[in-house]
Amino acid sequence: MSQGIKKIVIAGGGTAGWMSAALLSKAFGATKEIVLVESDEIASVGVGEATVPPLQLFHEFLEVDERDFMRSVDATFKLGIAFENWREPGHTYMHAFGHFGKDSWHCRFFNYWLAAAKDKGSADFEKYCLEFVAAQQNKFNILPNRRVQYAYHLDAGKYAVYLRRYSEAHGVTRVEGKIDAVSLNQNNGHISALQLQSGQRVEGDLFIDCTGFRALLIEGALHTGYEDWSHWLPCDSAYAVQSDLPGEIPPYTRSIANHAGWQWRIPLQSRRGNGHVFSSAFTTDQAALDLMLDSLDAKPINEPRLIRFKTGARRKQWHKNCVALGLSSGFLEPLESTSIHLVQRNLMRLIQWFPAQGINAAEVDEFNRQAREDTEAIRDFIIMHYKVHNRRDSDFWRHCGDMDVPDDLSHRIKLFKSSAKVFKRSYELFGEESWIQVFLGQGLMPKSYHPFVDTIPRDVLYQTLSELETSIRQQVSEMPSHGEFLARYCRPQS
């Protein structure tokens, strides 16, 4: 039996590194020595400022106070993402986080709506979702029993600082320094230590690679390999800049498509994050920068930063005694705000599959299988935004509309188009209502609906839909504005 893991070394800080330190220290307490190595001279990418609802579960596990967290990281609430110009120029829809209507055991609510929409010509599916209606009116409230599904917009740099305080209070040791070399065990090829430029040597039993795109451990030392997905996700560059925050604070992210990519707008309490994700094959850096700056409606407060990336994933996210998290494990562009979620998922998985007596090949293989399923499911959901649309107005969109897609995604598209059927596998982040919203928003309307709907008298169906719509409008009318709620909820304690 091999020696148990006693010391965990995290290479790199930023969001991924300090999330790792926080969760591992909470899970294992004093039973494991946890060391994080980072250098103040190396800046994290840190442009991802939007999240998805499961981050609440991460915070519940850490037992952090939501109000304290939000004050510390300049956070606002997020009810969904508004997609502008994606189906076609001038069209907007929202991918909201909430539930829609009421399902029956026979079929999803969507089928009832679809029957009514076909009868009457058109109708807005979104109006049967509390979160969508609230976002549309800039309203927000926290209701009992998680009746409002929400995530956060946050300052990634401040979030790392917040998690660092938490981690150090739970026994994590931070070591300042740049990694100069990675030492390998000559017998089994495992990582034995990190050699710092200062001459310090940091030994460990399990290493977490959070070194970003550099992937110094998982790739630089272990040569794990990378699977390139840029043939499905052609954007390879992004500019990011912060600006003043004009007017109201909307409780949603904006994603605005253009001729060669898309722009994000993410509202925090005191500023806004802006960015432009684009394909260098279809536009120039200068044109992309000009478009982003020209579209700002507020003064920029820092210099724009250019980030290059290649969408894809490591062939193994756990290799030998190294687990890659965050950008070192791969990159899916931030269209659906999933980067932090993938860190969280793999951290939880690492704890669940943590090797009791040292590295076990069967456990590593299962970790990698599950991690790959998670990543590929999110990948396909993002690809769908580029594949399904009505745009033929630029080379970029013609290329995306004509490209082949993974077989599983192709199957989902055909299934929805023919029969309005969608499904969610147990491990997938995005549920059936997410697929429905984006399919509809991108312009895909099913040819038929579930036959059970036709057993219900149409006057009963219309009355039920009307009552649902009225109930949601009434609930939203009683909510405060997002700005008012934030000011009260995040007020510093006296």
Instruction: Look at the domain 237-308 and name its fold.
Output: Alpha-Beta Plaits (3.30.70)
Cα–Cα distance for residue pair 325/28, rounded to 1 Å: 19
Q: Are 404 and 457 in contact (CB under 8 A)?
A: no
Instruction: Look at residues 370, 365, 380 and name the one whose alpha carbon lies nearest to residue 348.
Output: 370
pLDDT tens by residue, 80-93: 999 999 999 999 99
Q: Is the predicted pLDDT of residue 121 greater than 80, yes or no?
A: no
Label residue 108 exposed, middle or buried (CB < 10 Å: 0-12, 13-18, 19+): buried
Cα–Cα distance for residue pair 306/291, rounded to 1 Å: 14
pLDDT tens by residue, 253-295: 999 999 999 999 999 999 999 999 999 999 999 999 999 999 9
Cα–Cα distance for residue pair 118/462, rounded to 1 Å: 12
Both tokens of 432, joined, read: 């059936």
Can you tell me the mean pLDDT for 471-484? 96
Residue type, 346: N
User: Is the alpha carbon torsion for 46, 50, 56, 57 positive or negative?
Assistant: negative
Cα–Cα distance for residue pair 405/382, rounded to 1 Å: 11
The predicted structure's pLDDT at residue 1: 29
The region of weakest confidence among 15-24, 159-168, 245-254 is 245-254
| Pairing state between β 80-84 and 312-314 | unpaired
Using CA atoms of 157, 160, 166, 167 in order, give the dihedral in degrees to the nearest 10: -150
> Which tops the pLDDT comparison, 449 or 313?
313
Which residue in the block uniquely carries the two structure tokens 């405060």?
480
The region of weakest confidence among 9-18, 114-123, 216-225, 324-333 is 114-123
Domain boundaries, the chain: 7-76+153-228+311-377, 99-147+389-477, 237-308
| Pairing state between β 80-84 and 92-96 | antiparallel
Instruction: Look at residues 236, 382, 228 and name the one whose alpha carbon lies nearest to residue 313.
Output: 228
Helix, strand or coil for residue 311? coil
The predicted structure's pLDDT at residue 43: 64
Q: Is the predicted pLDDT of residue 198 greater than 70, yes or no?
A: yes
| Pairing state between β 7-11 and 33-38 | parallel
The predicted structure's pLDDT at residue 494: 60
The predicted structure's pLDDT at residue 356: 79
Question: Does the domain spanning 7-76+153-228+311-377 belong to CATH 3.50.50.60?
Answer: yes
Query: ∠ CA 2-12-152 to the nearest 5 degrees?
Result: 110
Other CB atoms within 10 Å distance of the CB of residue 358? 14
Q: Is the predicted pLDDT of residue 307 greater than 80, yes or no?
A: yes
Q: Is the predicted pLDDT of residue 44 greater than 90, yes or no?
A: no
Instruction: Determine which helix (DSSP H) or strand (DSSP E) holds 362, and give its type and residue range.
Output: helix 361-387
Cα–Cα distance for residue pair 291/296, rounded to 1 Å: 9
Q: Give residues with Cβ within 8 angstroms of 115, minimum separation 6.
A: 449, 453, 454, 461
pLDDT tens by residue, 202-249: 999 999 999 999 999 999 999 999 999 999 999 999 999 999 988 889
The predicted structure's pLDDT at residue 2: 42
Query: ∠ CA 385-390-394 to the nearest 5 degrees?
Result: 90
Res. 181 pLDDT band, cuts 50 70 90: very high
Q: Is the predicted pLDDT of residue 45 greater than 60, yes or no?
A: no
Residue type, 115: A
The predicted structure's pLDDT at residue 106: 78
Of the chain, the percentage scoring pLDDT greater than 70 comes to: 97
pLDDT tens by residue, 388-412: 999 999 999 999 999 999 999 999 9
Query: ∠ CA 379-346-170 to the nearest 5 degrees?
Result: 145
Which residue in the block uniquely carries the two structure tokens 């980067």?
339
78 is known as an active-site residue: yes
Can you tell me the mean pLDDT for 195-199? 96
458-478 burial, b if ≥16 CB within 10 A, otherwise e? Answer: eeebeebbeebbeebeebbee
Q: Give residues with Cβ within 8 angstroms of 488, minimum separation 6.
A: 480
Q: Are 272 and 245 in contact (CB under 8 A)?
A: yes
Q: Is the predicted pLDDT of residue 179 greater than 60, yes or no?
A: yes
Q: How many residues does the chain have?
A: 494
Instruction: Look at residues 356, 368, 482, 370 and name the one whose alpha carbon lies nearest to residue 425.
Output: 370
Q: Are 297 and 272 in contact (CB under 8 A)?
A: no
- Concatenated DSSP letters for 131-161? HHHHHHTTB----GGG-S--EEE--HHHHHH
Mean pLDDT rounded to a whole number for the chain = 94
Cα–Cα distance for residue pair 387/438, rounded to 1 Å: 11
Other CB atoms within 10 Å distance of the CB of residue 227? 13
Give the active site residue among 78, 316, 387, 421: 78
